Structure 1
Amino acid sequence: MEFSLLYGRSDLTINLPPSIGIREIVKYPMPTVEDGDGPILQSFADPIGCKPLSELARGRKNACILICDITRPVPNGRLLPPLIDTLIKAGIDHEQILILVATGLHRPNEGEELRELIGSDEIFSSIRIENHFARDREAHVDFGVTSAGIPIGIDRRFVEADLRLVTGLVEPHFMAGYSGGRKVVAPGVAYQDTILSFHTAHVLEHPRAVNCVMDGNPLHEAQIEIIRRIGEIYAVNVAIDDKRLLGRITFGEIETSHLEAVRFMRRYAEVDVDRKFGTIITSAGGYPLDRTYYQTVKGMVSPLDILQEGGTIIIASECSEGMGSGEFVTAQEEFCRRGTDGFMKMLARRSVALIDEWQTEMLIKPLRHGSIQLYTTGLSEGDLARTGIEPVTDLREAIMESVHRQGDSEIAVIPEGPYVVPRYRSAG
């Protein structure tokens, strides 16, 4: 029996004996849109909750387009050319169009990496492209606070643009329910105090701050309140299949167009499974998501609903860039010193989170229910000691040992990692 996992820019293939039953959990088959600009231009002409893009752009002095950073496989090379061409034809000079990379608190994307992110040499060479810097206080407009007391600071370049546009990938998100839409604005181009207030333990430990849940999710509700405070934002949201082909494009008012894309994606990314498993094999989603251990945590959280109590999640992630930020490394070291209870008690005392410690908090969620093992070729011995989980060097051997330990020869395999969220649904 053979299966493959997304790993870096290629796949890992594992062979198991026929005595092992493999339940492969993948997205439901998704229809895809035809190649070319036609489907994208059609979404601009047939928007959700607003006028067509060509009419919205007419008479505007300038435009700011938010794009996700390098951690998201958004097909910018396909989206940006017809988007920018539509703006120029409507009368906005190309020099008055800014592409702003919504980095949140991630590092900036520069050089060849930025060219790769844009996906079009013509756009890369002709349109101004800049990164968001969340730690620069003066670069943000103060909108006061949300009803929950979260301070609102948003990148001035976006706020002051005459036409504000967002592009985003709609996929399950382990805190905000689904990514895309409002999330590209906050935390995408939010001030650090906004982001740090989003990620406190009292928000992330809320039972609704989980994958695929938006109703009653405090993070989602804060994001919606923020985009409404800013006013007039339009979004191009896309959904992709397991081969990263476009399945849906929605353009329109940011809130309503995003919800339509979420409704579409739910039908494919949320997969019903009729049993729980003692052994789950998954990935961190392959390149570009699995470049760091920080992003790898998402793949550990996604299959929680089908993990038997005391079971094992084995995750494969290249981690070609190592652990992630220095702040995340510090949080991991603190976790390794204090243990689960001590680390969570420390977080519970904070009214504002420290940068990137929330990812360690999310790592703790699956550890409360079972064990996690990591296969990677990108981390040093020192980094492996900071992961807080058990490293393995042979995936086949780790699977066979888990099967023996669990006393269950059927395993769950999730090749696409966090892009698929299995839901336990009893057969009865």
Structure 2
Amino acid sequence: MSGTIDREQAVAIAYGRGHLPLRLPAGARITTIRKRALPKLPDAAAALDAALRTKPFGSPPLSQLAAGKRSACILICDITRPVPNRLFLRPMIETMVTAGIPIDRITVLVATGLHRPNLGEELAELVGDPWVLAEVRVENHDARNEDDHVDLGRTPTRGTPVKLDRRFVEADLRIATGLVEPHFMAGWSGGRKVIAPGVAGHETIRTFHSARFMEDPLAVQCNLIGNPLHEEQLEIVRMLGYCYALNTVIDEDRDLVFVSFGEIIASHQAAVDFVSGATHVPVGRKFSTVVTSSAGYPLDKTYYQTIKGMVTPLDILAPGGTLIMASECSEGFGSAEFREAQQRLVDLGPERFLATLTAKSLAEVDEWQTEMQVKSLRVGRVELYTTGLAQADRDVTGVHLVTNIDEAVAAAITRSGDSAVAVIPEGPYVIPYHQPAAA
């Protein structure tokens, strides 16, 4: 069984650092869609030690990889992903130092892509270990600084320009770390994605975010076969040369359930194989009312990140149905570039906005997220419950704002005449797909 579907009258969905309780109409027939439960690792430290020392995928143990090396760069995801960095950064760094790499030649690099840097208390929260912050150089990638990047040329198949952060390219030992979860374009996050777009230059990232890739029907969540983004990422890894990855999988409580280490492609595939059956959930019907979240903190810090949760459930939303999204947006809207794209969406409408993108080889910064929102607007009505957006920002969301999520569900049921409601408490970490029951 790929996942679990329970029926209940009351349910809570992830919101901010907690949960938002739903009190739905008595006549509502609720289907709650969750990942299949994955057993927690009884000893996370022991599992990590085994991954690094005795069970690497397609590579020697970390201690052997580090032997004879003069420098190392470890990539970590930015604050938008709840990667348990606190569990593995220090053991990895200590292994490298024991193997002979000077600690002052080890860099932890935050793979921000085109996101803002993580600084101060936020950086401390992200790293999760005061020792690492005190002993090791921790820096942020800046995609806009041309001098920070090495030009590796273009990918052989699609000609994507490849510029990567110099600190990673020039390190003797290169390791990406991350969280493997569904990604609504690249199929799955983690592994190769932490390199590109994680520490790529803006031209590389904007090529990935162009309509040429975004509108490809195979560039969707949980799919790697024929996915043009995934294929380009693999080509970039091969152009770069030897690099490795530590991949994690966590459950709804953010506890570790799987960890893999080794050659970057092999170790990532091992994590995908582990989690895919639990995350990709078959559902026997489509729903006129779907209630979901942005998976809570940190993914619901901004409206920019919220859009991910608007796209992942579309396969089970009936045409013309209502998708109700709950996201705290505690940090507000997102970048100035994203706000400008949203303003164009509101001014032009979805189809005219999309028409302005199709001829571009390079997307404008952050407009791709607005393009993804258009996919949900094509299917049905999108509503947003949030407590974190100023009125000026609410005006350019491009969706319907609601002040009471329970009343919004009741109204959606009335509009459709269908009392069946799908609820996805963990938002984009769960990918439901329509699989009609056999006749």
TM over 0.5: yes
Equivalent pair of 2:25/2:410 in contact (CA under 8 Å): no
Post-superposition offset of 1:29: 1.0
| 1:259-297 per-position Cα deviation (integer Å, ceiling 9, x unaligned) | 111111101110111111000000001000000000000
| SS at 2:362 equivalent | coil
Partner of 1:16: 24
| 1:68-113 per-position Cα deviation (integer Å, ceiling 9, x unaligned) | 0000000001121211121122121221110000000000000000
Partner of 1:174: 184
Work out the CA distance in 1 between the residues paired with 2:298 and 2:331.
10
| 1:22-41 per-position Cα deviation (integer Å, ceiling 9, x unaligned) | 11000001122123421101
The runs of 5 or more residues in structure 1 that have no matched partner are: none
The alignment's TM-score, normalised by the length of structure 1, stands at: 0.99
Partner of 1:282: 292
Partner of 2:132: 123
Letter in 1 for 2:160: I
Equivalent pair of 1:37/1:82 in contact (CA under 8 Å): no
| SS at 2:168 equivalent | helix
**Among candidates 146, 151, 157, match of residue 142 of structure 1:** 151
Percent identity reads: 53
Q: Structure 2 matches for 1:40-189, cutoff 5 A?
A: 40-45=48-53, 46-146=55-155, 147-189=157-199
Q: Does 176-185 or 16-25 show the bigger shift?
A: 16-25
| SS at 2:395 equivalent | helix
Partner of 2:391: 381
Partner of 1:30: 38
Post-superposition offset of 1:253: 0.2
| SS at 1:25 equivalent | strand
Work out the CA distance in 2 between the residues paired with 1:23 and 1:152.
45
Post-superposition offset of 1:16: 2.0
Work out the CA distance in 2 between the residues paired with 1:317 and 1:416.
11
Work out the CA distance in 2 between the residues paired with 1:212 and 1:194.
23
Work out the CA distance in 2 between the residues paired with 1:218 and 1:187.
14
Q: Structure 2 matches for 1:344-423, cutoff 5 A?
A: 344-423=354-433
Partner of 1:333: 343
| SS at 2:95 equivalent | helix
| 1:164-219 per-position Cα deviation (integer Å, ceiling 9, x unaligned) | 01101000000100000000000000010000111111111000011111111111
Work out the CA distance in 1 between the residues paired with 2:348 and 2:26.
43
| SS at 1:91 equivalent | coil
> Once superposed, what is the RMSD of the aligned Cα atoms?
0.8
Partner of 2:5: none
| SS at 1:412 equivalent | strand
Work out the CA distance in 2 between the residues paired with 1:389 and 1:202.
25
Letter in 1 for 2:256: L
Q: Does 1:322 align with 2:348?
A: no
| SS at 1:386 equivalent | coil
Equivalent pair of 1:170/1:239 in contact (CA under 8 Å): yes
Deviation beyond 2 Å, 4+ runs, structure 1: none
Equivalent pair of 1:153/1:191 in contact (CA under 8 Å): yes
Work out the CA distance in 1 between the residues paired with 2:245 and 2:101.
18
The alignment's TM-score, normalised by the length of structure 2, stands at: 0.96
**Among candidates 213, 217, 222, match of residue 232 of structure 2:** 222
Partner of 2:6: none
| SS at 1:208 equivalent | coil
**Among candidates 6, 14, 22, match of residue 14 of structure 2:** 6
